[in-house]
Structure 1
Amino acid sequence: MRIGGCRALVTGAGRGLGAAFVQSLRRAGADTIYVGMREPRELNQPGLIPVALDVSDPDSIAAAATRCSDVSLLINNAGVMKPDACLLDVQGSNDLHEQLAVNLFGMLDVTRAFAPSLADAGGGCVVNMLSALSWASLPHTSTYSVSKAAAWSLTNGLRNELRAQRTQVIAVHVGYVDTDMARAVNAPKLAPDVVATRVLEAIERGDEEILVDDTARQVKAAMLWPRPLYLGPDPGR
């Protein structure tokens, strides 16, 4: 699909990567950009419409879908990460539920709510922000990786179901992005505007998957190693 003239909704658009998507859409000529935020604030740029949207709240999603009934591009960007959560303790279980509520069920519920609008627009496009950690789990990312692996599988399922209405579904995998979520990470990070620009280019190419950076490409390639990366260190060494 073409970005120019489209009507887009970005979830989690108040800051970080979501805000970068909003500005990239403006530069690319989007007609209307619905800026989904838990706590909307006044926006003074033409074409930007703040929308109250909490992706973990079904009533909030329903209200946004009613208000933004002309969306042709949906960018599921909202996400949460609970670092250092352990799968085997009580707090880790709570953290996992919170991340699944946003990273998995939020993505599903928002897509379901806006699927009719996308169909009315001739199919449109859904972009799901995933992660290189959809394919691997690090000691400090266990619960987050579970949520992103589930979201990757969800994305593949949604692509199958939305194909009949000609909706393009893109899975976006990337390593660390220079946002608040990765503030404590001491590793190379990609600028949010670079990620947003590359994703918009993928939309216009008609891609179904984009590996934004070398990290995502390397992690996916490592799934085919003799000992795949997702198995972790070799206990025999």
Structure 2
Amino acid sequence: MQIENCIALVTGANGGLGQYYVEALRSQGAAKIYACARNPDSLANLVAKDPSKIIPITLEITDEQSVKQAVSLCQDITLLINNAGVGFNQGLIAATDLSKARMEIEVNYLGTLIVCRAFAPVLKQNQGGAIINMVSMVARVNLPFNGSYSASKAATLSLTQGVRAELASQGTLVIAVLPATIDIGMGKSYPEPKVSPEEVVREALQAVVDGVEDVYPGEQAKQMAAQLLKDPKSLEKIVAMMLPTSTP
């Protein structure tokens, strides 16, 4: 599959990596890009860059009615990018309550699943296409000071594998993107090294072209993936030292 002339839908297009995905798709020649956000007004500056190609769509990924409405408007997509997500930098035991952990599961796991389920028939009717799910290296090794987010991303990785298996027969490529620290959003407060958002998006879109199912953008993610193959317990112990700063 090529990015040029594809028709893409990007969730969470109004911030974080979303705007970088939209801009990269446009620069690589996508025919149309549905930019999705809960508040379409937040997409105004992005849409203004190329209103003939960038189409704003109202979408709340945890609301099945909102997702159904988006499906009715976007019947021509060939590339689905599940980018929307939330994270709160809290531990599992140290968190004062479970409200934010529930939200991370609701958005990162269930929201992504709702969107995959809704758009799978659309991709099938359009010769299979591809799905990109933004996951994270913390899906594979828990980062304790962001423990509940890590757990939600582990669930997202598992659902990605399951969706991949179920959609293989219709020819849909399902990609898990697992960066480590991205130099954007909550990653700004994390220590070096970091990967640029441009590099994350570039490697993710190249995976579509190359048919790669799991991609680890940036040197940090690649090194961690290699260490997980060689000595997973050692990496777990290193990351385990990054504990939350407060207790309930």
Report the TM range for the smaller structure's normalisation. over 0.9
Structure 1 stretches of 4+ moved >3 Å: 89-92, 231-235
Residue 189 (structure 2) pairs with residue 202 (structure 1): no
Which residue does the alignment assign to 2:27? Answer: 27
Q: Structure 2-normalised TM-score?
A: 0.89
Residue 75 (structure 2) pairs with residue 69 (structure 1): yes
The DSSP-based 3-state class of the residue aligned with 1:136 is coil
Which residue does the alignment assign to 1:131? Answer: 136
Inter-CA distance 149–92: structure 2 relative to 1 (3 Å threshold): farther
Amino acid at match of 1:31: A
Which residue does the alignment assign to 2:176? Answer: 171
Q: Structure 1-normalised TM-score?
A: 0.93
| Superposed CA offset, 1:3-57 (max 9, x none) | 1111100000112211000000001111010001111133221300000011121
Q: CA deviation at 1:152?
A: 0.6
Q: CA deviation at 1:177?
A: 1.3
Instruction: Decide whether the 8 Å contact of 2:3 with 2:28 is kept in 1.
Output: yes
Residue 69 (structure 2) pairs with residue 100 (structure 1): no
Amino acid at match of 1:56: T
Inter-CA distance 77–166: structure 2 relative to 1 (3 Å threshold): same
Instruction: Compute the RMSD of aligned alpha carbons.
Output: 1.8
Whole-angstrom CA distance in 1 between matches of 2:92 and 2:226: 26
Which residue does the alignment assign to 2:197? Answer: 192
The DSSP-based 3-state class of the residue aligned with 2:189 is coil
Whole-angstrom CA distance in 1 between matches of 2:205 and 2:85: 19
Aligned residues: 234
| Superposed CA offset, 1:55-111 (max 9, x none) | 12111111111111111100001111110x232366442211100111101110001
Inter-CA distance 198–56: structure 2 relative to 1 (3 Å threshold): same
**179-188 or 133-142: bigger deviation:** 179-188
Whole-angstrom CA distance in 2 between matches of 1:131 and 1:22: 20
Instruction: Decide whether the 8 Å contact of 1:34 with 1:51 is kept in 2.
Output: yes
| Superposed CA offset, 1:182-223 (max 9, x none) | 232232322212211121111101111111112212222222
Instruction: Decide whether the 8 Å contact of 1:86 with 1:92 is kept in 2.
Output: no
For structure 2, the 5+ residue unaligned runs are 242-248
Query: Of 147, 155, 163, which aligns to 2:152?
Result: 147
The DSSP-based 3-state class of the residue aligned with 1:140 is helix
Residue 117 (structure 2) pairs with residue 112 (structure 1): yes
Whole-angstrom CA distance in 2 between matches of 1:151 and 1:226: 20
* Percent of aligned pairs sharing the same letter: 38
Instruction: Decide whether the 8 Å contact of 1:135 with 1:230 is kept in 2.
Output: no
Which residue does the alignment assign to 2:12? Answer: 12
For structure 1, the 5+ residue unaligned runs are none
Query: Of 37, 49, 55, which aligns to 2:55?
Result: 49
Whole-angstrom CA distance in 1 between matches of 2:71 and 2:156: 21
Whole-angstrom CA distance in 2 between matches of 1:233 and 1:180: 21
Which residue does the alignment assign to 2:245? Answer: none
**178-187 or 133-142: bigger deviation:** 178-187
